[in-house]
């Protein structure tokens, strides 16, 4: 259940320090704060007053803007230009800079402390920019992702991290720092850190594993990319007996390399492994792909990089061929979700939306496809089953073309 924002209203009409002074309005933000919003106004009747605004956190300024800004937002990973994103918990002050006090000067201030709330988010965790071979500036890549109606995008240029240091002022999209380790023995994404490894160079499959361990120890989320890519360096050659967080089973347009990855993922699950699956557009301008095709639609505890990557690692995501197309969600919002482990025999109920003529829904376990439901003319459909084995997951296909894969419910 979402929690209503805590909202505080203040009217300041006394300025003890006069002009060229500051007035502070204190407030507190708790550990579950997702963002802080401050709006202020000094009405026209204030007689030519000029009041600047800023924010201080634990006594240290976190940003400052002139009187032209009427609204300021600070979150963990993004903020209004002029303000630093970052930690939110603790004591804050709205700082008013008293430049000029006109007759009947009054300042109305509204502070909103918005708590984290769980929600479904759609995004792309594999894309490139001109900082390697993507062909577009970072701002262009972010714009493309936003107009594709994504909530987040990862910039994963090959063996470089300079793209992660480009400052973007776009609160409409969460940008996840990343790097695609591109070796002669396979490719893997390091997500969540601006600089995940000191040196990317690998001269053996064993060194790839060493770089993965280094990035993971620093806190990166590790995704093995397109393991069956039809190139000498793109094919994964470092094995799977190493620490990673997920595997990319759908890379760009559907092809044999993706089918091979899907088949391997099914074998891993059938052997009792818990392996989250992801998808990514692998956008390059030259391959004419679009951001979010496919996309990861995941259930995150909040809107931050940490929340998105935590959901990804937990397998709380569905891989869909486009952000606003076919979708799947557990019916009970407070019940088990994809990636959860349940007692064998537990009920599972999933609602599908955005279905079209010719689609069919498939239930897959370690026995393979155990049941299929033709969609017909419906655009929504609910499937109620019980978890009977090691795992249960769903797919949606339209003939030979996939439209959606869920991560599994696991049995115990």
Domains of the chain and any CATH numbers = 6-115 (2.60.120.380), 119-325 (3.20.20.140), 327-412 (2.60.40.1930)
pLDDT at 1: 47
Separation between Cα atoms, residue 218 and residue 193, nearest integer Å: 8
| pLDDT at residue 44 in the model | 61
Residue 64: predicted pLDDT:
96
Residue 170, pLDDT score: 73
pLDDT of residue 42: 87
- Cβ atoms 198, 165 nearer than 8 A: no
Which residue has 């803007």 as its token pair?
65
pLDDT digits (tens, 9 = 90+) for 160-174: 999 999 987 777 799
Q: How far apart are CA 395 and CA 388, in angstroms?
A: 17
Residue 356: half-sphere exposure toward Cβ, Cα within 13 Å:
9
pTM, two decimal places: 0.92
pLDDT recorded at residue 376: 84
pLDDT of residue 103: 86
Q: In the structure encoding, which two tokens stand for residue 322, read together?
A: 């486009």
Q: What distance in Å separates the CA atoms of residue 297 and residue 122, rounded to the nearest whole number?
A: 4
Total count of residues recorded for the chain: 412
Q: So what's the pLDDT on residue 46?
A: 61
> In this predicted model, what pLDDT tens digit does every residue of 250-290 receive, in sequence order?
999 999 999 999 999 999 999 999 999 999 999 999 988 99
| Closest to 265 in 3D by CA, of 395, 396, 388 | 395
> In the chain, which stretches have pLDDT less than 70?
1-3, 44-46
What is the pLDDT at residue 67?
86
């Amino acid at each position: 259940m979402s929690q209503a924002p805590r909202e505080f209203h203040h009217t300041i009409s006394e300025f003890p320090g006069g002009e060229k002074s500051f007035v502070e309005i204190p407030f507190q933000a708790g550990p579950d704060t997702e963002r802080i919003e401050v709006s202020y106004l000094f009405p026209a009747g204030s007689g030519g007053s000029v009041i600047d605004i800023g924010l201080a956190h634990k006594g240290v300024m976190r940003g400052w803007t002139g009187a032209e800004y009427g609204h300021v937002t600070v979150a963990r990973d993004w903020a209004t230009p002029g303000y630093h994103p970052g930690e939110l918990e603790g004591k804050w002050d709205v700082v008013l800079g008293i430049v000029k006090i006109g007759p009947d000067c009054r300042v109305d201030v509204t502070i909103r402390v918005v708590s984290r709330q769980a929600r479904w988010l759609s995004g792309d965790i594999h894309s490139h920019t001109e900082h390697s071979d993507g062909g577009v500036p970072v701002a262009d890549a972010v714009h493309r992702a936003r107009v594709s109606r994504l909530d987040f995008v990862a910039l994963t240029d090959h063996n470089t991290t300079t793209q992660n240091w480009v400052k973007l002022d776009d609160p409409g999209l969460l940008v996840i720092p990343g790097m695609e380790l591109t070796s002669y023995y396979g490719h893997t994404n390091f997500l969540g850190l601006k600089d995940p490894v000191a040196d990317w160079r690998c001269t053996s499959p064993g060194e790839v594993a060493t770089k993965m361990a280094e990035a993971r120890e620093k806190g990166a989320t590790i995704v093995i990319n397109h393991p069956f890519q039809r190139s000498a360096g793109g094919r994964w050659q470092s094995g799977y007996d190493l620490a990673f967080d997920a595997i990319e089973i759908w890379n760009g347009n559907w092809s044999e390399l993706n089918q091979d990855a899907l088949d391997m993922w099914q074998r891993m699950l059938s052997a009792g492994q818990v392996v989250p699956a992801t998808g990514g557009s692998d956008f390059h301008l030259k391959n004419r792909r679009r951001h979010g095709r496919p996309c990861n639609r995941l259930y995150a505890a909040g809107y931050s990089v940490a929340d998105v990557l935590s959901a990804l690692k937990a397998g709380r995501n569905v891989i869909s061929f486009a952000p606003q197309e076919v979708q799947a969600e557990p019916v009970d919002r407070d019940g088990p979700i994809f990636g959860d482990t349940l007692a064998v025999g537990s009920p599972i109920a999933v609602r599908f939306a955005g279905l079209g003529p010719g689609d069919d829904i498939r239930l897959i376990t370690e026995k393979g496809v155990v049941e299929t439901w033709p969609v017909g003319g419906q655009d929504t459909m609910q499937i109620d089953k019980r978890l009977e084995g090691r795992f249960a997951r769903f797919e949606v296909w339209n003939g030979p073309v996939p439209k959606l894969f869920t991560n599994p419910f696991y049995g115990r």
